[in-house]
């Protein structure tokens, strides 16, 4: 029976948390500087939507602002209002635009709506006519079939001499839908389409490239780039080495290590049968913590396509998930780790410097974006600052 020392004094919550997340703000800042360098003559913004890709808009926004970012992109107005306190003189763009009832938040916090439809354009003109000039941006759809005016409509609008003087766009932008595949002809088509729009809005800054587009070359960068996933350590280009520093490390505490016999089954449905006498580590993380059920070692449809599930990292070794991941718990096979090197209470890395985010995502049949933005509420967080 294992003996534990007891201590009734106050402890650091991070040191005893069932699941915990370490965010390296120094690496985040370095990644932004690297993307700014790769942007060449273009200015690099920072995309901090979805709570800075799940890592915390307050701390990440502050670190990016202190690194030099002065242009930010958020998805919704409330994110922009939160960010304003941490980026006092930055230009903050709201990608979902503006809707009736949101006028006050845009004017009060100096947010820039990204207008993507004729309806939003008409509404914004009525807002500025009533409340005074305020900057906006215009989004153009160059082939994504998501948000934005068709290029022809945008060009016609640029040439419309009856356009109200109160309409003051400071940026025209579009978005590549295949930028992470450099060989795709679709990138060139979108580039040519956007170039025509940018020329029609002469004197107004233009932006086409997010993280992946920056790697496509100077002609894709225009005046402003919008790095997002690369800032947080994720892969921007498929099939290429990732030059970015890892930013987030997710860990789960091992609650129990148990012995199991050859032939016994593991987890719900008994979908994994042990081929040897084994030692199993039960960790305090599951799909409620964003450790997706599709990462299971067996018993999920994805395993018919992708041979293995996720691995964790503990005691200097990669260890596989066995059986199905459950809501709050995941089982790892630690048979190949000496008993003296691992014990209950240790932490196992789910993703981080030793288990690259995108490798884990591929095992789940998804992308790093989803793992980061799906982090649950139970993670105790620690932010590592550049000087610490």
**Tell me: the pLDDT tens digits for 154-203?**
999 998 877 777 677 999 999 999 999 999 999 999 999 999 999 999 99
Give residue 324's pLDDT.
98
Q: Mean pLDDT, to the nearest integer, of 113-136?
A: 94
Query: What residues act catalytically?
Result: 49, 268
Give residue 9's pLDDT.
58
Q: Of 184-188, 238-242, 334-338, 359-363, where does mean pLDDT reach its minimum?
A: 238-242
- Cβ-based neighbour number of residue 5 at 10 Å: 4
Give residue 167's pLDDT.
77
Query: Does the pLDDT of residue 308 top 70, yes or no?
Result: yes
Q: Mean pLDDT, to the nearest integer, of 125-137?
A: 93
pLDDT in tens, 221-275: 999 999 999 999 999 998 899 999 999 999 999 999 999 999 999 999 999 999 9
Alpha helices in 39-166 (DSSP H): 49-53, 57-67, 77-84, 103-109, 118-131, 151-158
Give residue 160's pLDDT.
85
% of the chain beyond a pLDDT of 70? 97
Q: Would the CATH topology of 40-226 be identical to that of 248-384?
A: no
Give residue 125's pLDDT.
92
Query: Does the pLDDT of residue 345 top 70, yes or no?
Result: yes
Of 283, 254, 247, the C-alpha closest to 368 is 247
Give residue 387's pLDDT.
72
Q: Mean pLDDT, to the nearest integer, of 119-145?
A: 94
Give residue 164's pLDDT.
76
Q: Mean pLDDT, to the nearest integer, of 59-80?
A: 98
Give residue 359's pLDDT.
96
CATH 3.40.50.2300 fits 248-384, yes or no: no
Query: Does the pLDDT of residue 106 top 80, yes or no?
Result: yes
Residue 67 tokens read as: 């690194």
327 is known to lie in a ligand binding site? yes
b/e map 279-300, b = 16+ CB within 10 Å: bbbbbbbbbebbbbbbbbbbbb
State the chain's mean pLDDT as an integer: 95
163 is known to lie in a ligand binding site? no
pLDDT in tens, 9-38: 556 899 999 999 999 999 999 999 999 999
Q: What is the DSSP string of 166-233?
A: TEEEEEEE---SSTT-TT-HHHHHHHHHHHHHHHHTTTSEEE--BHHHHTT-GGGT-SEEB--GGGGT
Query: Does the pLDDT of residue 90 top 90, yes or no?
Result: yes
DSSP 3-state of 292 = coil
CATH number of 40-226: 3.20.20.10
β-partners of residue 266 are 272
* Domain ranges, ordered by start, for the chain: 40-226, 248-384
């Amino acid at each position: 029976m294992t003996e534990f020392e007891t201590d009734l004094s106050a402890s650091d919550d991070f040191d005893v948390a069932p699941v915990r997340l370490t965010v390296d703000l120094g690496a985040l800042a370095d990644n932004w500087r690297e993307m700014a360098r790769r942007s060449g003559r273009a200015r690099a913004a920072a995309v901090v939507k979805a709570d800075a890709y799940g890592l915390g808009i307050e701390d990440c926004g502050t670190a990016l602002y202190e690194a030099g970012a002065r242009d930010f992109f958020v998805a919704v107005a409330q994110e922009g209002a939160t960010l304003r306190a941490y980026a006092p003189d930055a230009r903050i763009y709201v990608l979902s635009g503006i809707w009736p009832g949101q006028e006050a938040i845009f004017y009060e916090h100096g947010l820039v709506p990204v207008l993507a439809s004729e309806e939003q354009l008409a509404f914004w003109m009525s807002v500025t006519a009533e409340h005074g000039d305020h900057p906006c941006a215009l989004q153009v759809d160059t082939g994504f079939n998501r948000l934005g005016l068709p290029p022809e409509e945008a060009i016609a609008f640029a040439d419309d001499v009856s356009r109200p003087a109160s309409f003051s766009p400071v940026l025209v932008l579009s978005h590549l839908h295949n930028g992470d595949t450099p060989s795709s002809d679709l990138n060139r088509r979108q580039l040519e389409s956007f170039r025509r729009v940018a020329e029609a809005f002469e004197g107004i800054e233009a932006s086409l490239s997010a993280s992946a587009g920056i790697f496509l070359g100077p002609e894709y960068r225009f005046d402003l780039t919008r790095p997002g996933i690369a800032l947080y350590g994720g892969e921007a280009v498929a099939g290429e080495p990732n030059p970015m520093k890892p930013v987030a490390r997710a860990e789960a505490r091992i609650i129990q290590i148990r012995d199991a016999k050859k032939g016994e089954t593991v987890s719900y449905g008994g979908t994994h049968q042990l081929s040897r006498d084994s030692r199993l580590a039960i960790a305090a993380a599951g799909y409620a913590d964003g450790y997706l059920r599709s990462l299971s070692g067996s018993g999920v449809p994805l395993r018919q396509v992708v041979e293995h599930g996720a691995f964790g990292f503990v005691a200097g070794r990669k260890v596989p998930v066995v059986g199905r991941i459950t809501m709050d718990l995941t089982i790892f096979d630690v048979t190949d780790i000496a008993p003296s090197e691992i014990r209950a209470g240790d932490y196992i890395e789910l993703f981080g410097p030793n288990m690259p985010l995108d490798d884990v995502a591929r095992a789940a049949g998804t992308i790093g974006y989803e793992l980061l933005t799906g982090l649950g509420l139970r993670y105790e967080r620690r932010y590592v600052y550049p000087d610490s």
